[in-house]
């Protein structure tokens, strides 16, 4: 069965420092991978997605993620974190079957310290 | 502005009562989904609909029902609410119902508390 693991429940990063949020997936074929961000009291907003091709994908708000098939990972990165990046981040994998939806990780909460 | 509208924004409900959460979209997306979000559990799929007239069960469908009479509306009904259904509920859409190649768009959620 498909699954997504986000090993870090909570991460604190200093403003201006770099960020990496980890995501590991379990899937039998080429996955469709997504990163979403959720600000408090809001819905989810898509940051970036990977379907095929270049394994380094660029997203909005200066985020990028790299697909590594050998490690079954899709880690999210940002070179310099801003205070406004404090939010909860969800990694998700597409199940690859018609009529099914995304499977989400349990999320990583990012706090940004000044 | 095009998007997904969920109503109500929040609700406190007595256990045993019937409740319908509304979701309306104006993007003409084929597929619609209901998720619940619980602390430490992420988002879990309750029900989905590939297109008007069809629905399917997700990971946690028990205690919930849905209908899809038209493209725009996808209401979620709790026939007899129980405290374990206290959660934040998100409606989402995908603009190609038979693939997951397109990202899902999310509403702002309904915060439901069952007492």
For residue range A45-86, what is the model confidence (pLDDT) as tens digits? 889 988 878 899 999 999 999 999 999 999 999 999 999 999
Q: How far does the CA of residue B36 sit from the closest CA of chain A (Å)?
A: 11
| pLDDT tens digits, one per residue of B75-89 | 999 999 999 999 999
pLDDT at A5: 95
Strand partners, A5: A24
- Collect all residues of chain B within an 8 Å Cβ-Cβ radius of residue A93: none
CB pair distance less than 8 Å for A44 and B90: yes
How would you classify residue B89: left for phi > 0, otherwise alpha for psi between -120 and 50, otherwise beta? beta
Q: Decide: helix, strand or coil at residue A69.
A: helix
For β-strands A32-38 and A56-58, DSSP reports them as unpaired
Q: Decide: helix, strand or coil at residue B83.
A: helix
Q: Which residue of chain A has the CA closest to B111?
A: A41
Confidence of residue B101 (pLDDT cuts 50, 70, 90): very low
Q: Decide: helix, strand or coil at residue A66.
A: strand
**Most confident residue range from A11-20, B29-38, B56-65:** A11-20
User: Quick check: A21 and A14 in contact, CB under 8 A?
Assistant: no
pLDDT at B52 over 80: yes
- Rg of chain B's alpha carbons, rounded to an integer? 13
Report the C-alpha gap between A64 and A2 in whole angstroms: 23
For an interface test with B, which of A27, A40, A51, A99 has the most B Cβ atoms less than 10 Å from its Cβ?
A99
């Amino acid at each position: 069965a498909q699954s997504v693991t986000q090993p870090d429940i909570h991460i604190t990063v200093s403003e201006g420092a770099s960020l990496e949020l980890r995501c590991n997936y379990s899937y039998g074929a080429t996955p469709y991978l997504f990163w979403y961000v959720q600000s408090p009291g809001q819905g989810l907003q898509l940051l970036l997605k990977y379907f095929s091709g270049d394994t380094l994908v660029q997203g909005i708000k200066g985020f990028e993620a790299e697909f590594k098939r050998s490690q079954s990972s899709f880690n999210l990165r940002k070179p310099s974190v801003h205070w406004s990046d404090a939010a909860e981040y969800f990694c998700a994998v597409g199940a690859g079957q018609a009529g099914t939806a995304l499977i989400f990780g349990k999320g990583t909460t990012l706090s940004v310290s000044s | 502005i095009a998007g997904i509208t969920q109503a109500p924004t929040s609700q406190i409900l007595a256990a045993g009562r019937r409740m319908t959460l509304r979701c309306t979209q104006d993007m003409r997306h084929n597929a619609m989904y209901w998720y619940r979000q619980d602390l430490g559990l992420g988002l879990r799929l309750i029900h989905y609909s590939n297109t008007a007239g069809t629905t399917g069960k997700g990971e946690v469908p028990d205690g919930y029902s849905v209908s899809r009479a038209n493209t725009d509306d996808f209401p979620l009904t709790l026939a007899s609410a129980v405290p374990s259904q206290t959660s934040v509920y998100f409606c989402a859409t995908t603009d190609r119902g038979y693939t997951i190649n397109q990202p899902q768009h999310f509403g702002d959620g309904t915060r439901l508390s069952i007492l």
